[in-house]
Amino acid sequence: MRALVLQYYVLLRSVLRAKPLLRRCLARCRHCRIFFLTHPCNGGRKDLGCPFGCRGVHRKRQSTVRSVAYYRDALGKNKKRALNARRRRPKADGDRPTSCPGSVPVPGKSSIRWNLLMVEYVRMVVSLIEARSVSLTEIVQMLQRVLRQHSLGRRRKIDHALIWLQEHPP
- For Zn ion, the binding residues (CB under 5 A) are 29, 31-32, 50, 54
The region that residue 34 occupies, defined by phi over 0 for left and psi between -120 and 50 for alpha, beta otherwise, is beta
Beta carbon nearer to Zn ion, 54 or 139: 54
Cβ 153 to Zn ion shortest distance, Å: 28
- Minimal distance, residue 6 CB to Zn ion, in Å: 16
DSSP states of 10-73 as a string?
Answer: HHHHHHHHH-GGGGGGEEE-TTT--EEE--GGGTT-SS---TTTHHHHHHHHHHHHHHHHHHHS
Nearer to Zn ion, 1 or 85 (CB): 1
Task: Name which of 57 and 68 has its Cβ closer to Zn ion.
Answer: 57
Distance separating alpha carbons of residues 7 and 101, to the nearest angstrom: 30
Shortest distance, CB of residue 71 to Zn ion, whole angstroms? 29
Based on CB atoms, which residue is closest to Zn ion, 35 or 71?
35
Of the chain, the end-to-end C-alpha distance in Å amounts to 29
